[in-house]
Amino acid sequence: MEQPKNNLKIVADKKRARMILPNMLTLIGVCIGLTSIRFALDGRFELAIIAILFAALIDGLDGRIARLIRGTSKVGKELDSLTDMISFGVAPAFIMYFWKLNTLGRFGWLLCLVYVICVALRLARFNINSNQEPSWRDNFFEGVPSPAGGILVLTPLIISLSGFNFVQLNYDLMVPAFFITTSFLLISKFPSYSFKKIVIPRKTTIFLLFGIVLFFGLLLIYTFNVIAISAAIYVLLLPISFFHFQKIKKQHENDKIQDDDDLEDVL
């Protein structure tokens, strides 16, 4: 007697199975970003910033995990942009509005709107440019990425929680300045390091692991101090990345001119 076939499958194929993990991480990032708004609404700004950090950590992991297990997909790409929009666009804007911008009236709300729109434009441009062929430009972003933008607009709040405000800071001026500057950097073509293709020699791997453990250890103990210092280091890296980009660009242009001259000599 012929046995009946079991056609019930939880997952249709291995490709779809590999897509589940990175997409689940992305959806968890959405939940964490929305939860940060809840914390800010309750006035628990420390937890709101920590939630944004967790969202940034997940944002850095989901794409790498998807590429590692070959589980990339168009759905995952769209979900990643949605997560970035919520976690690094809407959530930081609401956090800063509940903390300081609501005291500025309509101007404070206008700054929130402008920032969120710039994040949306930044993500739309990134999705278009990501379809291009690999090149040396992949080592740089066009403008500041949305996770970094989310941390930058939160920097005044982070400084106030870190204890680094040894001098009296005027947050009524500082917060709008950070919002305007970050919004401009998001939509500009200012080159910033992407840190995607860093090659680590095998001999220095152990020192890299030690540095990562040390960083996260300090982050657990001196959370807001480490975040404030990290934000300052990132800002200092922006002019360095600009001049580095210009140097590499000029070098490639000279190589192209040399190749064209060699072709003309042959012809």
Domains annotated for the chain, with CATH where assigned, are 14-252 (1.20.120.1760)
Residue 73: pLDDT band (50, 70, 90) is: confident
Spatial CB neighbours of 152, under 8 Å, sequence gap ≥ 6: 144, 178, 181, 182, 185, 231, 234, 235
What pLDDT, on the 0 to 100 scale, is given for residue 259?
Answer: 59
What pLDDT, on the 0 to 100 scale, is given for residue 7?
Answer: 53
Mean pLDDT of 138-165: 88
Residue 174: pLDDT band (50, 70, 90) is: very high
Q: What is the pTM of this model?
A: 0.84
Residue 10 corresponds to which tokens in the numbers above? 């939880």
Q: Are strands 191-193 and 140-142 parallel, antiparallel or unpaired?
A: antiparallel
Given CA atoms 52, 57, 58, 63 in this order, what sign does their dihedral have?
A: positive
d(CA 82, CA 130) in angstroms, rounded, equals 16
d(CA 19, CA 119) in angstroms, rounded, equals 26
Contact call for residues 197 and 134 (beta carbons, < 8 A) = no
Residue 63: pLDDT band (50, 70, 90) is: confident
What pLDDT, on the 0 to 100 scale, is given for residue 15?
Answer: 60
Q: What are phi and psi of 141, to 5 degrees?
A: -95, 150
